[in-house]
Amino acid sequence: MKNTLIAGAAALAALFTGAASAQSITGAGATFPAPIYQKWFADYHAAHSGVQINYQAIGSGGGIKQLTDGTVDFGASDKPMSDTEVAAVKVKPLHFPTVLGGVVLTYNVPGVETGLQLSGDVVAGIFMGTIKKWNDPKIKADNKKANLPDKDIVVVRRSDSSGTSFVFTDYLSQVSPEWKSKVGAATAVQWPTGLGQKGSDGVAGMVKQTPNSIGYVELLFAAQNKMTFADLKNASGKYVKATFESVTAAAAASKGLDKDFRGSIVNAPGAKSYPLSTYTWLLIPSQIADAGKKKAITEFLKWMLTDGQKQAEGLSYAPLPAAVAKQVQAQIALIK
Tell me whether residue 45 or residue 262 sits nearer to other proteins (CB atom).
Answer: 45
Count Cα neighbours of 195 within 13 Å in the Cβ-side half-sphere. 17
- Widest CA span of the chain, in angstroms? 68
CB of 176 to other proteins, least distance (A): 17
Q: 163-175 and 60-69 helices cross at what angle (nearest 10)?
A: 120
CB of 41 to other proteins, least distance (A): 7
Tell me whether residue 66 or residue 117 sits nearer to other proteins (CB atom).
Answer: 66
Tell me whether residue 4 or residue 114 sits nearer to other proteins (CB atom).
Answer: 4
Tell me whether residue 32 or residue 191 sits nearer to other proteins (CB atom).
Answer: 191
Tell me whether residue 193 or residue 236 sits nearer to other proteins (CB atom).
Answer: 193
Q: Are 319 and 252 in contact (CB under 8 A)?
A: no
- How many Cβ atoms sit within 10 Å of the Cβ of residue 108? 19
Q: Which residues of 92-105 are buried (b: 16+ CB within 10 A; e: fewer)?
A: ebbbbbbbbbbbbb
CB of 283 to other proteins, least distance (A): 13
CB of 115 to other proteins, least distance (A): 22
Tell me whether residue 77 or residue 254 sits nearer to other proteins (CB atom).
Answer: 77
Q: Give the integer Cα–Cα distance in Å for 286 and 289.
A: 10
- Dihedral angle computed from the Cα positions of residues 13, 19, 24 and 27, in that order, rounded to the nearest 10 degrees: 70
Strands, E, within 179-250: which ranges? 195-197, 213-218, 228-229, 231-233, 239-240
Tell me whether residue 51 or residue 94 sits nearer to other proteins (CB atom).
Answer: 51
Q: Are 233 and 239 in contact (CB under 8 A)?
A: yes
Contacts of 306 (CB under 8 A, 6+ apart): 325, 329
CB of 201 to other proteins, least distance (A): 4
Strands, E, within 190-325: which ranges? 195-197, 213-218, 228-229, 231-233, 239-240, 277-285, 318-319
CB of 237 to other proteins, least distance (A): 31
CB of 32 to other proteins, least distance (A): 13
CB of 205 to other proteins, least distance (A): 4
Tell me whether residue 59 or residue 101 sits nearer to other proteins (CB atom).
Answer: 59
Contacts of 5 (CB under 8 A, 6+ apart): none
Q: Give the integer Cα–Cα distance in Å for 17 and 14.
A: 5
Beta bridge partners of 218: 103
CB of 154 to other proteins, least distance (A): 6
Distances in whole angstroms, Cα of residue 186 to Cα of each of 162, 165, 180, 197: 8, 7, 11, 17
Tell me whether residue 186 or residue 252 sits nearer to other proteins (CB atom).
Answer: 186
Start-to-end Cα distance in the chain: 42
